[in-house]
């Protein structure tokens, strides 16, 4: 399958010139409060999270959607190779060598769109936003012919919002069944993060908890220090914990306050997902140096078509080695620098904006340098103000090699920040063959 996608003029026109607001505020209010069982959540978010939801959608050609799934499939095939695992586990923490026998829920493959198609920027294994964007998709209304067509196609293909909600729950049910068997009921889930109520995406924890409860599974949201080891396994004051939905950014569970959770994971006292091994296999930024290395992949016997997909869709990524400091500094305008265990855009730097002080910090840290792929843009209009162009990236939520849903993130600045007026999570509408109906042209 070719993964080269030519520029789709009508799609670009929609992202530049269509200022339709597809989010119905009252629908979003009802959906947020119904799916979180939290009265006043919408008003609270409107005051505290004004950049969480974008009111305008992002339009994407169907060919790009197909290409992104092809890339996910290609990555998954390489991850299964023993040579790949031996390589990436060689630089991973010791805990990653423990195989819990489950895939790990809700990875994300994040892309920038180019005239030649999508380019993978990074992979994350505890990606946020899936529950929020599922609710956002329920609050859309068709304001013009292109959006109506996208709605009709989604309904015809079975990609309804209810189907997505079911898929989100099914991930956890499958993870549980793979460890405990189909005959053992999943009774209680803990959604775990450090000081969860202080996390910016805490509203998503409320949505996830209510989804579990709606399926007959008890759910709590807690800090890892609220968990304790007991004779019958991992416990919270509310009772025995069967499964932990892990939202921690301590990917190796190495920090002292995570010791109980770490032991429960290694001893099998609780099913923990996503887990350290998943992060090591997919999300460590050093892995991109392997996945973008066509020569190495050919040596491992990877199918030529798979190598071609990876080579064309993953920007060349290289380790930052102090011995190559001069060469990297000379080429810095063409590079983007990321910490190997980074997340959320923290401590990432566009090479053209580096100072010597920051450059020394990069050389003394653990970083990769990735060929710069600027994001595409979406124009939005806020009330009666002139239109502004926001950067966008596309996020594919993935479980076990399959794309579950898509979302866009609109922002200004260097990285996604959820602070940009008019920005935030946006719904994605796709069109067959990359072309919207004639009425939009």
- pLDDT for residue 435 is more than 80: no
Q: Summarize pLDDT for 45-99 with one digit per residue, the tens.
A: 988 998 999 999 999 998 999 999 999 999 999 999 999 999 999 999 999 999 9
4-20, pLDDT tens digit by residue? 434 447 888 889 988 88
Give pTM, 2 decimals: 0.92
For the residues 332-342, what does the mean pLDDT come to? 93
CB of 71 within 8 A of CB of 396? no
- Range of weakest confidence among 3-7, 159-163, 237-241, 380-384: 3-7
| Local confidence band at 141 (pLDDT 50, 70, 90 cut-offs) | confident
Q: What span, in angstroms and rounded, lies between the C-alpha atoms of 424 and 417?
A: 8
Average per-residue pLDDT in the chain?
A: 91
Dist CA 429 CA 426 (whole Å): 10
Question: Given this model, what pLDDT does residue 434 score?
Answer: 44
DSSP label at residue 283: I
Contact 119, 310 (CB under 8 A): no
Residue at token pair 């924890």: 205
Could you tell me if 58 and 376 are in contact, meaning their C-beta atoms sit under 8 angstroms apart?
no
Q: How much is the pLDDT for 156?
A: 52
d(CA 202, CA 168): 17
Residue the block writes with tokens 């964007």: 133
Q: Render pLDDT for 297-310 as a digit per residue (tens, 0 to 9).
A: 999 999 999 999 99
| Predicted pLDDT at 344 | 67
Instruction: Please give the backbone phi and psi of residue 140, each rounded to the nearest 5 degrees, phi first.
Output: -90, 145
Q: Do 221 and 209 meet the contact criterion of CB atoms below 8 Å apart?
A: yes
The confidence score (pLDDT) of residue 161 equals: 61
Cβ-based neighbour number of residue 201 at 10 Å: 17
What's the pLDDT tens digit per position in 257-299? 999 999 999 999 999 999 999 999 999 999 999 999 999 999 9
- Position 20 scores a pLDDT of 84
pLDDT value, residue 432:
53
Give the mean pLDDT of 168-192. 95
Average pLDDT over residues 212-241: 96
Structure tokens of 361? 């910090």
How would DSSP label each residue in 65-80? Answer: HHHHHHHHHHHHHHHT
- Report whether pLDDT(354) > 60: yes
First to last CA, the chain: 29
Average pLDDT over residues 429-435: 62
């Amino acid at each position: 399958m070719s993964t080269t996608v030519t520029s789709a003029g009508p799609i670009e026109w929609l992202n530049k010139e269509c200022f339709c607001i597809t989010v119905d505020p009252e629908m979003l209010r009802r959906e947020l409060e119904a799916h979180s069982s939290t009265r006043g959540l919408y008003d609270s978010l409107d005051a505290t999270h004004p950049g969480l939801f974008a009111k305008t959608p992002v339009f994407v050609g169907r060919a790009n959607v197909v290409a992104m799934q092809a890339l996910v499939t290609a990555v998954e095939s390489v991850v299964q190779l023993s040579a790949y695992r031996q390589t990436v586990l060689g630089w991973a923490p010791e805990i990653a060598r423990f195989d819990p026998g489950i895939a790990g829920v809700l990875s994300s493959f994040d892309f920038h769109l180019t005239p030649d198609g999508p380019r993978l920027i990074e992979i994350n294994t505890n990606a946020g936003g899936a529950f929020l964007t599922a609710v956002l998709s329920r609050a859309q209304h068709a304001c013009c012919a292109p959006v109506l067509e996208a709605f009709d196609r989604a309904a015809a293909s079975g990609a309804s919002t209810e189907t997505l909600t079911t898929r989100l729950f099914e991930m956890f049910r499958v993870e549980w069944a793979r460890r405990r068997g189909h005959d053992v009921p999943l009774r209680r889930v803990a959604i775990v993060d450090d000081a969860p109520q202080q996390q910016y995406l805490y509203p998503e924890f409320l949505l996830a908890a209510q989804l579990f409860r709606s399926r007959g599974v008890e759910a709590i949201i807690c800090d890892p220090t609220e968990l304790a080891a007991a004779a019958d396994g991992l416990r919270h004051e509310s009772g025995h914990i069967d499964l932990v939905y892990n939202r921690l950014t301590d990917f190796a569970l190495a920090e002292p306050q995570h010791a109980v959770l770490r032991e429960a994971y290694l001893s099998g006292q609780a099913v923990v997902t996503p887990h350290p091994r998943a992060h090591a296999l997919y999300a460590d930024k050093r892995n991109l140096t392997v996945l973008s290395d066509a020569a190495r992949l050919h040596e491992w016997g990877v199918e030529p078509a798979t190598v071609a997909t990876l080579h064309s869709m993953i920007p060349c990524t290289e380790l930052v080695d102090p011995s190559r400091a001069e060469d990297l500094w000379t080429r810095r305008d063409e590079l983007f620098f990321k910490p190997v265990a980074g997340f959320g855009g923290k401590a990432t730097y566009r090479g053209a904006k580096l100072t010597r002080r920051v450059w020394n910090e990069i050389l003394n840290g653990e970083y990769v340098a990735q060929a710069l792929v600027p994001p595409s843009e979406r124009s939005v209009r806020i009330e009666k103000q002139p239109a502004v162009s926001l950067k966008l990236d596309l996020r594919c939520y993935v479980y076990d090699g399959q794309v579950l849903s898509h979302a866009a993130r609109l922002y200004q600045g260097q990285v996604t920040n959820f602070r940009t007026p008019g920005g935030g999570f946006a719904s994605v509408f796709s069109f067959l063959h990359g072309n919207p109906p004639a009425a939009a042209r």
